[in-house]
Structure 1
Amino acid sequence: MDQYYLNLFFIGGSFLLYIGIAVWARAGSTSEFYTAGRGIHPVTNGMATAADWMSAASFISMAGLIAFSGYSASAYLMGWTGGYVLLALCLAPYLRKFGSFTVPEFIGDRYYSRTARLVAVLCLIIASLTYVIGQMTGVGVAFSRFLQVSNTTGLFIGAAVVFFYAVLGGMKGITYTQVAQYIVLVFAYTVPAIFISLQLTGNPIPGLGLFSNYEGTGEPLLVTLNQTLADLGFASYTAQDTTPSAVINMFLFTLTLMIGTAGLPHVIIRFFTVPKVSDARLSAGWALVFIAIVYLTAPAVGAMARLNIMTTIWPGGTGEGAQAMQIDEAPAWFENWATTGLLGWEDQNADGRLQYYNDEGDGLPAVAQASGSQANELTNFNRDILVLANPEIAQLPGWVVALVAAGGMAAALSTAAGLLLAISSAVSHDLVKRSINPGISESAELWWARGSMAASIAVATWLGLNPPGFAAQTVALAFGIAAATIFPALMMGIFSRRVNNTGAVAGMLTGLTFTVVYIFLHKGWFFIPGTESFPDTIEGSLLGIQSTAIGSIGAVLNFAVAFFVAGRTAETPEKVQQMIDSVRVPRGVSAAQSH
């Protein structure tokens, strides 16, 4: 079967499956729309949480980051998985015991403040909306490559599918759809990795293949990769940058990812869907298991993909007398991805070969000097294409290529649905129900929930079509905001009786303002009146801290300001202090102690 029709069959079939599940599991009440009636089994919820978490960034971008950054990219693996441990131990069971529908509802009730609820809604919308831009944009890119339609058309198709199953099903429909999406994406991620691991090392387990011998040289795969990179002038794949600034930034970035993960609202609300408090902790454990299947495979995918690229461009090796690939003999995947604009090259010395090496070092590598080349000729290689292009690079069967396409769609759509649900719940439940019209009927609230979901999809689609200047870095902004605002408010709300409503509001606003301003300054995203774009040459830096790592500093400021202000204002009411204790202390403990 032609590759186009294979892609259409796999992607179209998966979409029909998602829509069918939504019809079967449609929400009939606000409880089902917000929390799936609190009737989801921990294993099911763990699988849905894994799909909710493994966005286009995890499925598409993470392996590319690891492939081109090597050791330093391990921060993503440590931070994202560590965040789930933190969530399981410190947040999930207590939030489930409190019994809220949404994160702002917990913050508003715990801090007995409408203002605190509204600030939490603001933080939630900013974090979730910036995160969802990348998901919707990724849908358009994947469609344009695999179904040969324009980016705009692809984005509208993806938005229509999300609209149908998210608006109709709410949390109940999204949960079971995400289970199906997890199955699709985990097969899409691991099956190509198994094929490639067998090709390169003879080991069918990618994680073990990473440490096995490369069949092309008989040396360990990582040793071969490091030598190849050294021959081409690139940094070592496994080396660690031990300069103080690099170590500090890696620590702070890992911490930001951890507490950002524990503070992301679309992840937290998944733990409101289980029947019992103990099930919330079990759900987090199962989510880690399901996520680990992909995350333990990602380092192997990154390393093997990087080596595959090198051996494709330098088929005879990179040692003495090496010859680069003839451009007119380039594999089909080169041409396929060049049409998307995500891969490009230029034969600058007109020798008919594609020279690929690092030309930004102190001197050109030996392979460049031998060829007479003066500059790297691979002018554009978008890291995000690695996972999607990997089956083609390794010349795997067409059905594997189609499976990966369906997996990329599943990853983007599953996370987009979770984020959009978090936004719509905050609008319908926390703004309309709890702030504007407390007497609203359940049917009217459900109408508002579906209406705000539809509006959120429309806004996300528009932003995907017309991304702002900072769209490429939305993940950093989303994690930074969640880390600096929502996570501290939840931790203090559960474990501190002293922090009051004034302290919580002051802390959240401080974390939000500091983090957003710092990222905008550091990235040059602020707008200067009289200009037509966001300047990209203006940077700010606090002690050399990167913008991606600043969320953890924002969190420290949030904690410090909240405790400082709370210590100089009225104490938390006794009734609220008792409520805090009841959330932390298991039922029956007080009675047992009294005897």
Structure 2
Amino acid sequence: MSTQRSFFRRLSSYYLLFTAGFACFLVALAVLEQEGMSRVWIGYLFMFATIVLYASIGVLGRTSNVLEYYVAGRRVPAMFNGMATAADWISAASFISLAGGLYLHGFDGLAYIMGWTGGYCLVALLIAPYLRKFSQYTIPDFLAARYGGGHGDNRGGRAVRILAVAATIIVSFTYVVAQIYAVGLIASRFTGVDFSVGIFLGLASILVCSFLGGMRAITWTQVAQYIIILVAFLMPAVWLSGKHSDNPIPQVAYGKLLPKLSAREQVLQNDPREAEVRAIFRQRADDYEARIRKLPASWEAGRIEVQRKLDSVKLRNASLLDIRNAERALIAYPKNADEAARSWAEARTQNLARAEPITPHATPYPGDKETSDIKRNNFLALVFCLMMGTAALPHILMRSYTTPSVHETRVSVFWTLFFILLIYLTIPALAVLVKYDIYSALVGSDYAHLPNWVSYWANVDKLNPLFSISDINHDGVVQLAEITIDADVLVLATPEIAGLPYVVSGLVAAGGLAAALSTADGLLLAISNALSHDVYYKIVDRAASTQKRVTISKLLLLGVAFIAAYAASQKPGDILSLVGAAFSLAASTLFPALVLGVFWKRANYQGALAGMTAGFTVCLYYMLHTNPILGGSAAGQWLHIAPMSAGIFGVPAGLLTMIAVSLLTPAPDQQTSAMVDYIRAPEL
């Protein structure tokens, strides 16, 4: 006990010194900015300094010891494990996209906060302490032992292990692609490099930590990353809170500012110029609808018209810019009628969305009764999926193994919730503060005098603009309907929107990078450990030395990281959608087996195999069947539930199948029943 206290005090002194050093670094950069240092160099310094910091911790934490590599030696104090788990949990979706989602969707965006926070309560109550008591290395390890009679090496345990490994890889890979995508977004914004190059720059930092030291290096890196995340998120929120409400506490200012925002929304809703812009978007949507109905003749006529315009500008010796624009229009034109149908349908949907009236931020489920019911059902379905998915994420549950005891695991969960809530209670306030700032300062301003940050963010990704303003009705004044903002850009742009020094923008970028890297580290380790420990060591080569096992894990981690980076470079979708899919898959596949494995002695390996397969199949089928990006159609939705909430069908399918098959097949042996009794027995 005294050794543990001494270790805690030593860690506390290290991280206090780190926090003081980080504060001095911020002050130094602020002074350099005042002295004229360019934004580009500030961005470089932030990126370079933080990546070097994480790499240094990774080098210092390097290890080839199996216990240290897989579970950090099971000696991480509860408070520090809570900080590391919070950093692991606060991903790019939480840091970058969640406030943006609340900005765009208002009340409906609270589903993410409620679902993720509630989910961690399930982790605390239903799973984490029991996993620690079992003292395994991975989640497939626990499931194989539980359903394989205590050792996991018989036929049932081996089959469950393989299926759990497959689920871990699919869930974690989907999630890690979203994190690496965010790394590319941040790196390209603050260093000016190409998006794909930014991805591989961030990947270097991820690999140094996880490759050299496994869970040991990742844990101590994540504690440092949490400190950066907290400071980066709170600073602009506190500034905006003081600016708009004379109260520097965002959570308190939030309630005071909501009525002001609602009043501003009402003014904009009744503005005739806003109505004019929305009418133009509706007309554009109608035009696309007419073109779709006249296919394929409309496609051929459009192709001829685009070609004619190119020939015309060339004949009249137009400027090089006009010729290039005409050439781009021809290149971008759909190659055939089928492509035109897809492209025009997407454009019609986008224009219809921009033609919709303003959705009041604080109004739950706005619209007529049918629309309101659909929104409410989707809200509840998403909360359900995020809660169940959180309680089944392998990279989060793995952290239960790193504390010295079951009691420390329970205390660690308390600290995790505390550190998560410091961020999560600020996110809704930040969304309202930024929204009010844009609605009152940017809307109604002159196009000739737009702030510099508008053009800055408009040029980050020219193929898929993250922010744009177009004078649709040509009146020279910015209307709300003329602004397009991507959810993934809001938090990163907040310091510039608020008028803060650029050094704060660099700080926020460093926070977003820390959030993405911390989660990516944990996810990649979950995948590589599942492959090296559960497949290679447990199935392929039981005689492998500890050194060989760690080496295999490192090589697999390297391969998975590069595959994930390539997938992220293809820009597969927005961050929140990718994350939502990962949570639904985790909930449908792993949650029933984990919870019934702890609380129902009658659950057997046949039931676990059937339940995991049924849950995954139903969830994946629904996503493929209803998501247009994956080749499905929204017309195929059941009860109008969105594809990312497919777990609302997958979880019941998995639970019911597992219960039914377990009851129809032989009961587990006495050893398995005794194991469940041991797991659930209270600590003395």
TM-score w.r.t. length of structure 2: 0.78
Deviating more after overlay: 268-277 vs 545-554: 545-554
Q: Distance in 2 between matches of 1:351 and 1:245?
A: 37
Cα offset, 1:226, TM superposition: 4.2
Measured after TM superposition, the shift of residue 25 of structure 1 is: 1.4
For 1:123-522, list aligned pairs within 5 A.
123-212=167-256, 220-228=259-267, 230-231=269-270, 233-241=357-365, 243-314=372-443, 324-340=444-460, 341-357=465-481, 377-378=482-483, 380-468=484-572, 473-522=577-626
Deviations 1:483-507 (A, max 9, x none): 1111111001100111110000000
Letter in 2 for 1:284: V
**Residue by residue, what CA displacement relative to the aligned partner does 1:201-226 show, whole Å, maximum 9, x if unpaired?**
11000011112258xxxxx4444454
CA contact (8 A) 1:210 1:221 kept: no
Return closer, same or farther for 1:83/1:225 CA change in 2, 3 Å cut-off.
farther
Q: What corresponds to 2:65 in structure 1? A: 29
Gap change, CA 1:248 and 1:463, over 3 Å in 2: same
- Could you tell me how far 1:144 is from its partner in structure 2? 1.1
Q: For the structure 1 residues 569 and 584, does the alpha-carbon distance in structure 2 shift closer, same or farther, using more than 3 Å as the test?
A: same
Aligned counterparts of 1:269 and 1:41: Cα–Cα separation in 2: 15
Deviation at residue 552 of structure 1 after TM alignment: 3.0
Structure 1 residue 349: deviation in Å? 3.3
8 Å CA contact retained: 1:480, 1:549: yes
Distance 2:374 2:454 in 1: 38
Aligned length: 546
**Superposition deviation, residue 245 in structure 1:** 2.9
Q: Work out the CA distance in 2 between the residues paired with 1:171 and 1:356.
A: 47
CA contact (8 A) 2:84 2:219 kept: yes
Matched letter for residue 337 of structure 1: W
> Which one-letter code corresponds to 1:311 in the other structure?
S
Partner of 2:93: 57
Amino acid at match of 1:276: S
- Identity between Structure 1 and Structure 2 (%): 38
Q: Name the SS for the 2:638 alignment partner.
A: coil
The equivalent of 1:366 in structure 2 is none
CA–CA distance in structure 2, aligned partners of residues 191 and 468 of structure 1: 31
For 1:344, what is the secondary structure of its paired residue?
A: strand
SS for the counterpart of 1:154 is: helix
Shift of 1:190: 0.3
Aligned AA (1:56): A
Q: In structure 1, what is the Cα distance between the partners aligned to 2:634 and 2:375?
A: 21
Report the Cα offset of residue 513 of structure 1: 0.6
Q: Structure 1 pair 473/223, CA: closer, same or farther in 2 (3 Å)?
A: closer
Structure 1: how far apart are the matches of 2:563 and 2:202? 14
**What TM-score results when the alignment is normalised by the length of structure 1?**
0.89
Of the structure 1 ranges 452-461 and 242-251, higher mean CA displacement relative to structure 2 is found in: 242-251
Which one has the largest radius of gyration? 2
Map 1:525-536; keep pairs closer than 5 Å: 525-526=629-630, 535=631
Match of 1:92 in 2: 128
How far apart are residue 18 of structure 1 and its match? 0.8
Tell me, yes or no, if the aligned pair for 2:97 and 2:575 is still in contact at 8 Å.
no
Q: What is the root-mean-square deviation in Å for CA atoms of aligned residues?
A: 1.7
- Runs of at least 5 residues in structure 2 that lack an aligned partner in the other structure: 1-36, 149-156, 275-356
Structure 1 or 2: larger helix share? 2
- CA distance in 2: counterparts of 1:20 and 1:249, whole angstroms: 44
How much has 1:548 moved relative to structure 2? 2.3
**Using the alignment, how far apart are the partners of 1:470 and 1:406 within structure 2?**
20
Distance 2:362 2:573 in 1: 33
* 1:26 Cα deviation from its structure 2 partner: 1.4
SS state of the match for residue 391, structure 2? Answer: helix
Write out per-residue CA displacement over residues 368-414 of structure 1, whole angstroms, 9 at most, x where no aligned residue. xxxxxxxxx33x32121110001000110121111001111111111
Once residues 643 and 471 of structure 2 are traced to their aligned partners in structure 1, the CA distance between those partners, rounded to angstroms, is: 36
Name the SS of the counterpart of 1:234 in structure 2: coil
- Does the 8 A contact of 2:625 with 2:633 survive in 1? no
Question: Could you tell me how far 1:345 is from its partner in structure 2?
Answer: 2.7
Residue of structure 2 in register with 1:217 after alignment: none
- The one-letter amino acid paired with 2:407 is S
State the AA in 2 paired with 1:283.
S
